[in-house]
Amino acid sequence: MRLKNIIVAALMLCVCTLSASAAKKSVSGTVTCDGQGVAGVVVTDGINLTKTNAKGVYVLPTNVKDPHCQFVHISIPSGYEVERVGNAPQFFRRLNPKAKKQTFDFKLKKVDQSVYTVLALGDPHLTDVYGKRADHRGTAKYKEEVVPAIQAYASQCKHPVYMVTLGDMTQTSTRPGWKGREGGYSFKNYLEDTKVDIPVFNTMGNHDHNHAPKGEMFNDETVYLSRVDYNREAGPEYYSFNIGREHYVVFDNTFVITKDAGPTTDPNATKGYWYKLDKYQHNWLAQDMAAVNKDDVDRVVIVAHCGLFGYSGKKMQMDLEKVLDNFKGYEVLALIGHHHSDHSIKKTWNGKPLYQFYHTSGAGTAWYTYDNCEGSPASIVDYTFKDGKFTRTCVPYGTNTGQKYRVYDNRNHKWAYPITERTGTKQKRATEEAEITPEDKPAILVNVWGAYTCQFTESTGGKGKSVKRCYDLTFRDWYWDAFAKSAAGELPEGQRLYKAGWQTPKRSYHIWRYIPADPDATIKVVAKDAMGNVVAEFEAHAK
């Protein structure tokens, strides 16, 4: 009896082994440039990873029926670009779960990337569904104003230009198929409308995800279902590529639980979403970074939707240490959307510089105005890399085209009311004006997007007081005026502003109020970014 059990167990083991072998197929192909194989190119299906051999050939074991293995994609090597369809780099191929044998070839072309620019665009929130809000106007503005502005800016550059989106290209509730909706705006619409002649690499945002079915919660094994729409049209949600001496890692760090609520840090939450990676991304990331040759890379650039760190610099992503441990020995630059603001964070992590930059919404305040609620304009942001360093430049479009800052003073840049030591302190103008007294000291208020520090020098040698985190007067006063007119029915339906927490005026980290020691002095203002580069320099007067 015992021998019989052993034989049965052995037979069962053979059957299981054969079944596993049958399930895991080898996908193969080549990576070439001008007909010659390119060696050492990373190829992955999101779980397994390999490299091309000396002849540019790869063989990648993959389980084609595993829903976590939907694509085969390469990490585009430095000094090369991949073929494009429109603006879409063809760095991935879609796996067929029914095919027995699959071959995917990738063709590269050489490019001089000793100097290059990456343009970052955050949160356009596109929809063409007419409703009570102004969102329906976003599609037209995006196509007629924003896209041409991006293309015009890219065309004047004399070196290679690339673009990364930072998520929330669409709105879940306005996509086709949501609760039976026949209209709406899909990822396919977004890809077709972004008519720019440069490679565009996309990132998932929280609004780009699908909701969990009613009564269900996603977990590590099922969270891929929250990406169904995105994967179908836009490709893989996490991947990497190389440009120049930078290694780019694109994450989906919105871990959807149900998505019918906001973000949460409660590990036992039953609704909303976490700022974290699923286990498959963690597994892939460790392999991806292990395959990087450190001698070829100056820094790692993280492209993600949700913040790694909050405004104060404290940890926001729940698994942050585990993520950053993969980047030991590298300078890190994180490009972040989601928060609809321009904000810079500078840290030292594992002995290396770490920069995180929040980006404004490309929609401004959901297409009502090209201003964001903390006073920064809707912009693309230019990151130019050269000689191991990078610069960062905000490039506003729409009504703010060409602007680098706003200054409010009492001589050359007068506002509707005096600028004093109390200005910019209250969310509502009326509340602030009620507190102003003749005894208040005159001041200036400056808003410099992209600024990390701001220095004030008085012509007469005095040293006044600088206060950070104020309200921008342009947005604040526009908002409450538009809200009052909307409430009174003075604006047409579809243009009325409906009160929402994410739209109301917010204090900004790049707005300073300066109260001079000598009110008659000329005040020289010099604002610098997190890397120490001057982003604005001008003069202002408190009287």
Closest C-alpha among 253, 308, 246 to residue 282: 253
Q: What is the pLDDT of residue 118?
A: 98
pLDDT at 2 over 50: no
pLDDT at 425 over 50: yes
pLDDT tens digits, one per residue of 45-67 = 999 999 999 999 999 999 998 99
DSSP class of residue 398? G
- Spatial separation of the C-alpha atoms in residues 324 and 339, rounded to whole Å: 21
pLDDT at 266 over 80: yes
In sign, the C-alpha dihedral spanning 5, 6, 10, 16 is positive
First-residue to last-residue Cα distance in the chain: 102
DSSP class of residue 174? G
Q: What is the pLDDT of residue 58?
A: 98
Least-confidence region, from 18-22, 424-428, 533-537:
18-22
User: Residue 182 — pLDDT band, cuts 50, 70, 90?
Assistant: low
* Domains of the chain and any CATH numbers: 106-400 (3.60.21.10), 406-541 (no CATH)
pTM of the model: 0.93
pLDDT at 321 over 70: yes
pLDDT tens digits, one per residue of 506-520 = 999 999 999 999 999
Helix (H, G, I), strand (E, B) or coil at 181: coil
- Spatial separation of the C-alpha atoms in residues 296 and 66, rounded to whole Å: 34
**Contacts for 254 with CB less than 8 Å, ≥ 6 apart:** 167, 204, 205, 206, 209, 273, 274, 275, 305, 306
User: Residue 19 — pLDDT band, cuts 50, 70, 90?
Assistant: very low
pLDDT tens digits, one per residue of 111-156 = 999 999 999 999 999 987 655 555 567 888 999 999 999 999 999 9
Query: Amino acid letter at 87?
Result: N
**What is 447-473 written as a DSSP string?**
E-TT-SEEEEEETTS---EEEEEE--H
pLDDT tens digits, one per residue of 66-115 = 999 999 999 999 999 999 999 999 999 999 999 888 999 999 999 999 99
Phi, psi at residue 20, to the nearest 5°? -65, -40
Q: What is the pLDDT of residue 174?
A: 79
- Spatial separation of the C-alpha atoms in residues 180 and 427, rounded to whole Å: 40
Of 150 and 498, the one with more pLDDT: 150
Helix (H, G, I), strand (E, B) or coil at 119: strand
Query: Amino acid letter at 459?
Result: S
Q: What is the pLDDT of residue 13?
A: 34
Helix (H, G, I), strand (E, B) or coil at 248: strand
Closest C-alpha among 366, 315, 381, 393 to residue 494: 366
Q: What is the pLDDT of residue 129?
A: 63
Q: What is the pLDDT of residue 1?
A: 37
DSSP class of residue 442? B
Which position has the token pair 């130019």? 384
Closest C-alpha among 138, 163, 140 to residue 150: 163
Helix (H, G, I), strand (E, B) or coil at 499: coil
pLDDT tens digits, one per residue of 465-485 = 999 999 999 999 999 999 999
Over the chain, what is the mean pLDDT? 91
Q: What is the pLDDT of residue 16?
A: 34
- Spatial separation of the C-alpha atoms in residues 212 and 258, rounded to whole Å: 5
pLDDT at 438 over 50: yes
pLDDT tens digits, one per residue of 242-265 = 999 999 999 999 999 998 889 999
**CB 190, CB 170: distance < 8 Å:** yes
DSSP class of residue 76? B
Closest C-alpha among 204, 222, 198 to residue 212: 222
Least-confidence region, from 175-184, 311-320, 488-497:
175-184
Element at 82 (helix H, strand E): strand 80-82
* Torsion angle in degrees (nearest 10) through CA of 277, 282, 285, 290: 150
- Any idea what the Cα angle at residue 526 is, between residues 525 and 531, rounded to 5°? 155
**CB 444, CB 542: distance < 8 Å:** yes
User: Residue 481 has which token pair?
Assistant: 């005026």
Closest C-alpha among 434, 508, 522, 513 to residue 475: 508
